[in-house]
Structure 1
Amino acid sequence: MPAPGTRTVDVLDVSDLRFPGGTSHSIAEEITAQARSGYSTGLISLNGPLVAKVSPVNRLIRAAVEDGRARLLVGRAPVRAKVVVVRHPAVLQHAAEQLPPVEADHVVIVANAAPYDIDGHEHYRPEAVHEIAKHRFGREPLWAPIGPLVRQAIAGRVPAESLAETDWVNIIDVDAWAVDRPGRAAGARPVIGRHSRSSPQKWPADAATLHAVYPVDGTWTVRVLGGAGPVEHLLGDLPESWEVFPFGAMPPRDFLASLDFFVYFHNPRWVEAFGRTILEALATGVPAVLPPHFEPVFGDAAVYAEPHDVRRVVETLYADRAAYDAQVERARTTARERYGHEAHVARLAALIGPPSTTPAPSTPTPAAPATTSDERPPRALFVSSNGAGMGHLTRLLAYAQRCAPALEPHFFSLSQAAPVVGRFGHPYEYVPSASATGLEPARWHAYFAARLSATIERIHPSVVVFDGTWPYEGLGLVRRAYPGIRWVWSRRGMWRAGMNRDQLAKSSWFDLVIEPGEFAGPADQGVTAQAQATRVGPVTLLDRDDLDTRAAARSFLGLDPAAPLALVSLGAGNINDTSGDLGAVVAALRDLGVEVCVTQPEIATGQGRLDDVHVVRDFPLSRRYRAFDLAVSATGYNSFHELLRFGVPTLFVPNRSTALDDQEARGRYAAAQGWAHTLEVVTVDQATPLLADLLERGEPMVKHVSDADPGNGAVGAARVLTGLVVEGQV
């Protein structure tokens, strides 16, 4: 009988839960399989040596905890488990002292990597890890390599009787990763690709192998998810014919769905333990072309070739549709039989017996669609331009949140902040802007049109919604190619007087123009003010009821529960340079005895004293606005409407360098209405009395905004979009 206060679970997963890639994804898959079968899961995160300590818990594991599939166990209270599963031996070797007391019937050390990397650095000593496990858990551990190469690497370094007879292979929810693979157009080039971290061990080590496996001459389309820094280092530049996306730029399932072949070759000195990205590729049905050493792991689920033979293998299979389709089916069948959730449940049952609880209702993992293709609602593709901040993306997210479930949202964004969409459960694809790629405008517009067309072909949206002030030429090209889709321009107003008039003519590209409202609408002197549009109220991602209480918000952000606090969001600047806007504001707040919270992530110790400045990072930060007594902010669309709608006394400091957004007019209008103060040029002497006034009477000032607030326009915009698709209204 466990001692009072002991936390009891069937499976206790111990690892560094901050790992961004395969280790954490494998843990998340096992959590889901365990929950569906009735096994309870506890998680203990150890801060190991392989991840920077500022990194968050992996999003997939965090989602599993938030929806109740697993319990995150913190603190020193004892834990009782039927089995402890340790993932990555290095974590246990370097951080075992962080464990609470643990009692277990069985201990499994999953060796998901060899002890050494390609540089000869020893990440862990199997002998030492074995003794640590015995001491910490009171049991002789069972070593379970995840593949034959790791088995070879640790054999002889752990007791022979402690080495599992079979490998602890990774698992995957095959149904969640499955994609349709329609026929291809005649004469199309093969699209090959790979998904991995951008590290030298994950790429071929020499230029000859690289050229043989991933052509640079444009004869194939080469698509990379995860970055290609080692290629750039090896060749001096990235091939112009390649399409390279950063790690996390889009859901891997969507990326894999766009490929004809998954081709993965790595540094020959690297011992690839298993290759989770390969398993993900097989589950989607894309034929994988691999080095021969992977054959003992994946068998006939993949195709194997030496580098010099890759071109022949790909082109032969690409030309024979029947053979290609047969390979797709072998990949899917093997993925299900060897690596499906059922395989994991069977090995658990053999080790610890049946689960202690009734199986939980089956729920889709984050990669899975909520319904079958026949039951899915119409899809909406939200396309955001880049912009200076996150306004375009956030506004579309506000629409998407209110369109679901009548419409199924997907995102296609030029903003590097695109991954925030994934936190809301929506698929997304990041496409680098012209400035990010360095391409000449004509080439970039063609690239943009090609990527957008490929996305439309993959998800078949009923409506495309573009948010931006400058519709790209590629939009017009793609729109003409897909006349059966509804096209909508979400076009924010408040343009500088007389500017961008030529862009209004592009309204003809769209079936509908939606204009998000402005609290400062009467001051709008831009060319859109009189243009035809469907106008809705001011748009914010959240509503007032979504905000945390003051106490909860301060606790979440780690702020003093009682001190006066100001939120400062002014972009780049030096906090101690009082000749600049940011420095002057910080100095004025310090003089008033107000603690400063800055949203600028670029603050570093080289910019001055930081002991009394808090850096706050969260999205959407507006959820925590009740933590602050006042704010000092630029006057962009999002910040302006969130701060006023949510009742934060604010000193607005317009960004005067915007090309089109008339931030000065917004700030002046709010000040004229008595809702807020504004300063277009900031000094300590000017800012101090205005901030003091906001501390004294800012709350009653900003309360008057509610008289002019018609409600969140995101609701109206979602209603218009849904009606456009579901009811055919224009």
Structure 2
Amino acid sequence: MASSTPVPAIDTPTVDVLDVSDLRFAGGTAHSIAEEIKAQHNAGYSTALIHLNGPLVAKVSPVNPSIRHEIEQGHAELLVRGDPVRARLVVIRHPAVLQDAADQLPPIEAEHVVIVANAAPHDIDGHEHYRPEHVHRIAQRLFGQEPRWAPIGPLVRKAITSRVPPSALMESDWVNIIDVDAWSSPRSDVRGDQPVIGRHSRSSPQKWPRDAETLRAVYPVDGSWRVQVLGGAEPAEALLGQLPGSWDVYEFGAMPPRDFLAGLDFFVYYHDPRWIEAFGRTILEALASGVPAVLPPHFEELFGDAAIYADPGDVRRIVDELYADRDAYEKQVKRATAAVRARFGYEAHVARIAGILGEQPAPGQAVTPATENASPQLPQAGHAEEPYDARPRILFISSNGSGMGHLTRLLSYAVRCAPEAEPHFLSLSQAAHIVGSFGFEYEYLPSMTATGLAPARWHAYFAESVLQTIDRIRPTAVVFDGTWPYEGIPAVREAYPDIAWVWSRRGMWKPGVGGDRLSKAAWFDVVIEPGDFAAPADRGVTASSNAERVGPVTLLDVDDLDERAAARAALGLDPEPPMALVSLGAGNINDTSDDVGASIAALRGMGVQVCVTRPEIAAGADNHHDVHVVRTYPLSRHYRAFDLAISASGYNSFHELLRFGVPTLFVPNRATALDNQAARAQYAAEQRLAHQLPSVSVDAAKPLLAELMTHGAQMVEGVRQLDPGNGAADAAAHITRLVPNTSAP
């Protein structure tokens, strides 16, 4: 996570503007970032980008194409390695992204910080996407200064004014910008018998009128006007029962918006009145293209005389009158173009940046950044010039489990499939960003729970997303790790029958559970089952099913671990005292009725210092010098720092702790749907490889921990007799045999 007192190295690159956002945003936010990059580049400002996996995006592409284009043109640099960076101005787009994903930031040293509020905190259903007060504190802690807040428009300003410090609220809105000349679309003087009106937006209910009466008033269904829609019209169809024959509806992205707008006489945009439309990027695009826009009155505060404002009942009259009066129509177009250029053009944005940095641009001229010493230039992206990588590609898809197991197992395979093959990841885990630290490309696909979609809709969305990814990267094999293959997989296989599919499916399922899932093995060419030290205790349905069984899989091998001194130094731990790792999930360190609190109390009573693995359990940690929070991945690289551990017995932690020789007290998580952690922990205890407790109390834990401190090393030594070796290499061999032009590792 970025620090409030970052200390970048002397050769840390410096950039004028650092944009921080979720670069997968599909709509106006991404297009506005791209436009600002171009404006900054034209004015001589250098731009860098940092992508965060925020909570609001259901888009599989890792970077929006419009932003990716600017990167490929060398107008901005995408920072992906997590190295420190200096910035004269940090611009954070969308507070929810910083609120949920701040821990993904590298160390940043900033002269100025602006949080652009792209949307109001609440949506129309009352759901709060972000808390301005909380986001403000996060920014203060990260950057060591009070950030400034820039609402994207008047309605958002009203929504956040009472929730941020008055001194932090910028006087001017951070309105979106546009290249007016690039969007301008000359129109023919020839007119039809009826006007052509249109709208462009995503097909969300909040983006359409709420009731059928308003809908018919602004988008006639009687054939008197031609209505064209880009972005889908499912909410309208739901209100009307069916789409009128006089409507032409195109899905989102079916054609370039500029081409769509060029065919309209009017842009008419009305939405659910409960929705706070933060800005309306598509409105700005319509105005810049030269088409008159008819809008609800609340937009007047934002767009002024650039548009026409009317209540729904007046829209028909206004459109008909202006369509019949060519001179008045052309005057409106010219007025709109001038207003857009003055307030929303590139020049306006350059002046905005210059004002924050204390520079004074000449009217209508580009700004030369007044950096005292020339800033070291960030290396340019240069993607278009990179040599073509002819290696076959493998797509690894991880489901969204309760921990890191699925993603870690796939990484275990991927690092051993490379360099013969080129791994790519599509993950439902919100920790997908860790894949980037291994040098692999990745995309985040929100799970059913994260999107809130109904099962049928989500499975269709999953299939479409996987198809898009396959279209882009063209893999020769797909490896899915999870216990329940998703229903969209057969549709993907049908579309691409030549791609080999592998199901990586761990065992140790709870007895009598999940038998219906085994039939899904027919969807795959190979089923791989990672081994389990506790396999003799496996009574689940997978124990007798067909699979290619390999040894227990861990990301690292024993030789990959740091030695004790180096491990403690890497984690910032004292070199001498006995140290324990507590990895039990969320809890309160001061509540001894809780597993976490009882574990820490027992260890503290023995004079053992404690590390906990989840930031959420650090309540009160600042009061205890012997409680440390560690969040390194993979933490197993530093396991030699610990004298013992108290851990859940999930697949990863169980096999890493035992294989790497850490004396452990296992406390199984019994709330898992399928994973039989209790059987795993019980088997280890029966074999005298570890101790186990169903739940932790101070009195029950102390004697077991004392024995682990004195005899734990000898106990865990017995794992060597059970361990056939890391099965990750064998699993990778099974995978690469399916891929043309590779040899098994």
Shorter-chain TM-score bucket reads 0.5 to 0.7
Q: How far apart in 1 are the matches of 2:424 and 2:76? A: 29
Residue of structure 1 aligned with 2:676, choices 662, 671, 674:
662
Structure 1 residues 602 and 98: alpha-carbon distance in aligned structure 2, compared to 1, 3 A threshold: closer
- The answer to whether residue 312 in structure 2 is matched with residue 291 in structure 1 is no
- Higher mean alpha-carbon deviation, 587-596 vs 677-686, is at 677-686
- CA-to-partner distance for each residue in 1:355-387, whole Å, 9 max, x for gaps? 899x99x7857xx58955x53422222222222
Tell me the amino acid that sits aligned with residue 47 of structure 2: S
Residue of structure 1 aligned with 2:427, choices 413, 425, 432:
413
Is contact 2:201–2:207 with CA below 8 Å preserved after alignment? Answer: no
Tell me the amino acid that sits aligned with residue 27 of structure 1: A
Q: Which residue of 2 aligns with 1:526?
A: 540
Structure 1 residues 8 and 493: alpha-carbon distance in aligned structure 2, compared to 1, 3 A threshold: closer
Q: For residues 160-175 of structure 1, what are the structure 2 equivalents within 5 Å?
A: none
Q: CA deviation at 1:449?
A: 2.5
Q: Matched residue of 1:701: which SS?
A: helix
Q: Matched residue of 1:27: which SS?
A: strand
- The answer to whether residue 585 in structure 2 is matched with residue 571 in structure 1 is yes
Q: Which residue of 2 aligns with 1:435?
A: 449
Q: Matched residue of 2:544: which SS?
A: coil
TM-score (norm 2): 0.57
Is contact 2:200–2:229 with CA below 8 Å preserved after alignment? Answer: no
- CA-to-partner distance for each residue in 1:510-569, whole Å, 9 max, x for gaps? 111111111222322222223221122211122334333434433443333333221111
Q: How far apart in 2 are the matches of 1:473 and 1:56? A: 30
- CA-to-partner distance for each residue in 1:593-616, whole Å, 9 max, x for gaps? 112222233326489976653332
Q: CA deviation at 1:642?
A: 1.1
Q: Which residue of 1 aligns with 2:48?
A: 27
Q: Matched residue of 2:737: which SS?
A: helix
Structure 1 residues 720 and 687: alpha-carbon distance in aligned structure 2, compared to 1, 3 A threshold: same
Residue of structure 1 aligned with 2:651, choices 637, 646, 653:
637
- CA-to-partner distance for each residue in 1:237-286, whole Å, 9 max, x for gaps? xxxxxxxxxxxxxxxxxxxx9885579999999899xxxxxxxxxxxxxx
Q: CA deviation at 1:478?
A: 2.5
Q: CA deviation at 1:406?
A: 2.6
Structure 1 residues 707 and 149: alpha-carbon distance in aligned structure 2, compared to 1, 3 A threshold: closer
Q: For residues 299-314 of structure 1, what are the structure 2 equivalents within 5 Å?
A: none
- Higher mean alpha-carbon deviation, 527-536 vs 488-497, is at 527-536
Is contact 1:385–1:467 with CA below 8 Å preserved after alignment? Answer: yes
Q: Size of the alignment, in residue pairs?
A: 540
- The answer to whether residue 507 in structure 2 is matched with residue 493 in structure 1 is yes
Is contact 2:555–2:728 with CA below 8 Å preserved after alignment? Answer: yes
Q: For residues 90-129 of structure 1, what are the structure 2 equivalents within 5 Å?
A: 118-119=157-158
Q: Which residue of 2 aligns with 1:156?
A: none
Structure 1 residues 34 and 559: alpha-carbon distance in aligned structure 2, compared to 1, 3 A threshold: same
Q: CA deviation at 1:28?
A: 5.0
Q: For residues 249-260 of structure 1, what are the structure 2 equivalents within 5 Å?
A: none
Q: CA deviation at 1:48?
A: 9.2
- CA-to-partner distance for each residue in 1:633-666, whole Å, 9 max, x for gaps? 1111011111112221111111222222121222
Q: Matched residue of 2:615: which SS?
A: coil
Query: What's the C-alpha RMSD, in Å, of the aligned pairs?
Result: 5.8
Is contact 2:406–2:482 with CA below 8 Å preserved after alignment? Answer: yes
Structure 1 residues 548 and 17: alpha-carbon distance in aligned structure 2, compared to 1, 3 A threshold: farther
Q: For residues 584-663 of structure 1, what are the structure 2 equivalents within 5 Å?
A: 584-603=598-617, 605=619, 612-663=626-677
- CA-to-partner distance for each residue in 1:18-40, whole Å, 9 max, x for gaps? 8877699933599988999xxxx
Is contact 2:664–2:712 with CA below 8 Å preserved after alignment? Answer: yes
- CA-to-partner distance for each residue in 1:74-121, whole Å, 9 max, x for gaps? xxxxxxxxxx99776999xx99x989xxxxxxxxxxx99999993577
Identity of matched residues, %: 48
Q: CA deviation at 1:619?
A: 2.2
Is contact 2:659–2:723 with CA below 8 Å preserved after alignment? Answer: yes
Is contact 1:17–1:61 with CA below 8 Å preserved after alignment? Answer: no
Is contact 2:512–2:541 with CA below 8 Å preserved after alignment? Answer: yes
Q: Which residue of 2 aligns with 1:254?
A: none
Q: How far apart in 2 are the matches of 1:578 and 1:456? A: 50
Q: Which residue of 2 aligns with 1:680?
A: 694
Structure 1 residues 353 and 576: alpha-carbon distance in aligned structure 2, compared to 1, 3 A threshold: closer
TM-score (norm 1): 0.58
Q: How far apart in 2 are the matches of 1:455 and 1:582? A: 41
Q: Matched residue of 1:410: which SS?
A: strand
Is contact 1:566–1:595 with CA below 8 Å preserved after alignment? Answer: yes
Structure 1 residues 431 and 353: alpha-carbon distance in aligned structure 2, compared to 1, 3 A threshold: closer
Q: CA deviation at 1:436?
A: 3.5
Q: CA deviation at 1:487?
A: 1.0
Q: How far apart in 2 are the matches of 1:61 and 1:718? A: 32
Q: How far apart in 1 are the matches of 2:428 and 2:99? A: 26
- CA-to-partner distance for each residue in 1:129-156, whole Å, 9 max, x for gaps? xxxxxxxxxxxxxxxx9x99999xxxxx
Q: How far apart in 2 are the matches of 1:379 and 1:348? A: 45
- The answer to whether residue 474 in structure 2 is matched with residue 460 in structure 1 is yes
Structure 1 residues 567 and 221: alpha-carbon distance in aligned structure 2, compared to 1, 3 A threshold: farther
Structure 1 residues 35 and 10: alpha-carbon distance in aligned structure 2, compared to 1, 3 A threshold: farther
Q: Matched residue of 2:545: which SS?
A: coil
Is contact 1:588–1:688 with CA below 8 Å preserved after alignment? Answer: yes
- The answer to whether residue 364 in structure 2 is matched with residue 375 in structure 1 is no
Tell me the amino acid that sits aligned with residue 648 of structure 1: V
Structure 1 residues 390 and 11: alpha-carbon distance in aligned structure 2, compared to 1, 3 A threshold: closer
Q: Based on CA coordinates, which of the two structures has the bigger radius of gyration?
A: 2
Q: Matched residue of 1:725: which SS?
A: coil
Q: How far apart in 1 are the matches of 2:48 and 2:685? A: 53
Q: Which residue of 1 aligns with 2:525?
A: 511
- The answer to whether residue 597 in structure 2 is matched with residue 583 in structure 1 is yes
Q: How far apart in 1 are the matches of 2:417 and 2:598? A: 43
Is contact 2:590–2:620 with CA below 8 Å preserved after alignment? Answer: no
Q: Matched residue of 2:646: which SS?
A: strand
Tell me the amino acid that sits aligned with residue 704 of structure 2: L
Q: CA deviation at 1:484?
A: 1.2
Is contact 1:18–1:58 with CA below 8 Å preserved after alignment? Answer: no
Is contact 1:114–1:150 with CA below 8 Å preserved after alignment? Answer: no
Structure 1 residues 260 and 580: alpha-carbon distance in aligned structure 2, compared to 1, 3 A threshold: farther
Structure 1 residues 610 and 352: alpha-carbon distance in aligned structure 2, compared to 1, 3 A threshold: closer
Q: Which residue of 2 aligns with 1:700?
A: 714
Residue of structure 2 aligned with 1:716, choices 724, 730, 738:
730
Is contact 1:596–1:613 with CA below 8 Å preserved after alignment? Answer: yes
Structure 1 residues 532 and 191: alpha-carbon distance in aligned structure 2, compared to 1, 3 A threshold: farther
Q: How far apart in 2 are the matches of 1:390 and 1:559? A: 24
Q: Matched residue of 1:710: which SS?
A: coil
Question: Which ranges of structure 1 fall in alignment gaps of 5 or more residues?
Answer: 1-5, 63-71, 74-83, 100-110, 128-144, 152-166, 168-189, 195-202, 224-230, 232-256, 273-287, 311-334, 340-346
Q: How far apart in 2 are the matches of 1:673 and 1:378? A: 44
Is contact 2:585–2:617 with CA below 8 Å preserved after alignment? Answer: no
Q: Matched residue of 2:440: which SS?
A: coil
Is contact 2:481–2:505 with CA below 8 Å preserved after alignment? Answer: yes
Q: How far apart in 2 are the matches of 1:641 and 1:682? A: 21
Q: CA deviation at 1:469?
A: 1.4
Q: How far apart in 2 are the matches of 1:401 and 1:613? A: 34
Is contact 1:572–1:602 with CA below 8 Å preserved after alignment? Answer: yes
Q: How far apart in 2 are the matches of 1:607 and 1:7? A: 30
Residue of structure 2 aligned with 1:544, choices 549, 558, 573:
558
